[in-house]
Amino acid sequence: MIFEIQAERIGDNEKQVFYYDNQTNVLKDNAGNIFEYPTIDNSKMPNVEVVPFDKHTPLKKSRNVSVLKIQMGLSCNYSCDYCSQKFVERPAETSKKDIDAFLEKFDTLNFSEEQGLKIEFWGGEPFVYWKTMKPLAEAIKERFSHWTKEPQLSVITNGSILNKEICAWLYYMGFSVSISHDGPGQAVRGPDPFDDPLQKNIILNFYKIMRKQNRISFNSMLNHENRSRKAVYDWFVELTGDPNVMLGEGTIVDAYDEDGINSSLSSKKDHFDYRKLAFNDIYSTQGNIGNPMILSKVDGFVQTLLGHGDAKFLGQKCGMDLPNVVATDMRGNVFTCQNVSAVETGPNGEKHLGGTLENIEDVEIKAATHWMNRKGCPSCPVLHICKGSCMFLDDKYWDVSCQNSYSDGIVFFSLAFEKITKGFVPVTIKGDGLPLDRQDIWGAQYIHDELPKKKVIPIKVVSEIVTKIDDIDVYGKSKVLV
């Protein structure tokens, strides 16, 4: 789709009109001049056309794996407000007794040292499963001991169970570690491990050691009460004393459930205010606020636009659309992604379970929808930044998440646009069917009537400790009491 962009230059308010084609990824000025590299090197651009999928034409997986996401289980010692797994059906727990059977399935996959291999360990809280994860990771590492370039191991944790033994093991095993924490907004999310002085000391000492090798980050999500990337950065700088503190994630939450909707931007004013704040946070600091993903998003879009990276080569944001990226549990079940389970049904009514590792050529993921098969994605100006948002959300959860992703994406679009055009910032972006509150980027050009607020029916979410795993109390699937 062709979009007409009205832009103003920062500093002198000079106005100019541009035209952007989101399918061919071509930007022109009003005189027809194309913004592009002097020489387009297509060899550096993706050249494999994406294969769209949905429940009617399922996503397939390959035995040749470059990223394997191992979900240890969904149990967690925390029950955070907007957790993506809060309402996901829990499968029966596994233990270290299941390791040998899993490794037999693992050995049916093909891995290439030349291509590289990433192995990610996920929960719930992965260290609830410490007594299983430790021998499993060690056995996997041993299988690749003959490789010159060993597989990359990583884990995401809430940090509350980290102790000296676990930290030393992670260091010597070569893990990269991400600690989920929302900085100044942690109270909205859930418990804070930094409230415990002993745990705070363990985490900060671990951070100092791992930071020297760029193997640790704090992953923070934004939500309606925690909107400023700079405020998050400032909070972590004060916590760590490190002006180069490493942050990850940094996007607005997806609405996986009702709590996710409540944590999202709710009004048009919310969205306009967020866009202005996010742009100023990044522009005023030149993106130097601890999160390399910020600059990589801006620079990545600049590169694909100047190189005319066509939408037909554009994959999903999460990468789970790729046949060589596989999510599995300890039973060898293959499912949509690490945030769901083999016994959970997706919002589109299809099971997340697609098959098994042993028969991976027969895997069919029906709970996901590619952006090409979404109603609004092909006609969205921030397609190349958003990349389809979450591929398994549907109905109202998709609608809210799409709104969040658009407000985040249009900020990065505007920052890249300013860089390409040497100072011009988009003010409006007009295209067929694009809602007015999306056309008016900063909310200053038109009058926007808010939609009537729906009557809120109070709900009570109950999260209960249901069992212990290795002497750690863990919560079960949350329930809604009306």
Q: Tell me: the pLDDT tens digits for 96-146?
A: 999 999 999 999 999 999 999 999 999 999 999 999 999 999 999 999 999
Could you tell me the CA-to-CA distances from 389 to 3, 207, 305, 400 in Å, in that order? Answer: 21, 30, 19, 11
Mean pLDDT computed over 334-361 = 97
Confidence of residue 243 (pLDDT cuts 50, 70, 90): very high
Question: Between 82 and 379, whose confidence is greater?
Answer: 379
Q: Mean pLDDT over residues 306-320, rounded?
A: 95
- The domain tally of the chain equals 1
- In the chain, the percentage of residues whose pLDDT exceeds 90 is 86
Which pTM was predicted? 0.95
Give domain status of residue 215, yes or no: yes
User: Looking at the domain assignment, is residue 319 inside a domain?
Assistant: yes
- d(CA 85, CA 97) in angstroms, rounded, equals 25
Is 60 contained in some domain?
no
What's residue 459's pLDDT? 61
Average pLDDT of the chain, as a whole number = 94
Residues sharing a CB contact under 8 Å with residue 394, sequence separation 6 or more, in sequence order: 346, 347, 348, 369
Encoded amino acid at 183, one letter = G
In a domain, 482, yes or no: no
Q: Which residues form the domain of 92? A: 67-368
How far is 102 from 401, CA to CA, in rounded Å?
Answer: 35
In a domain, 125, yes or no: yes
| Tokens read off for 126 | 């992965």
Tokens matching residue 273: 């205010």
Residue 178 lies in a domain: yes
163: domain CATH number is 3.20.20.70
**Range scoring the smallest mean pLDDT among 75-89, 273-287, 354-368, 411-425:** 75-89
**169 part of a folded domain:** yes
Whether residue 339 lies inside any domain: the answer is yes
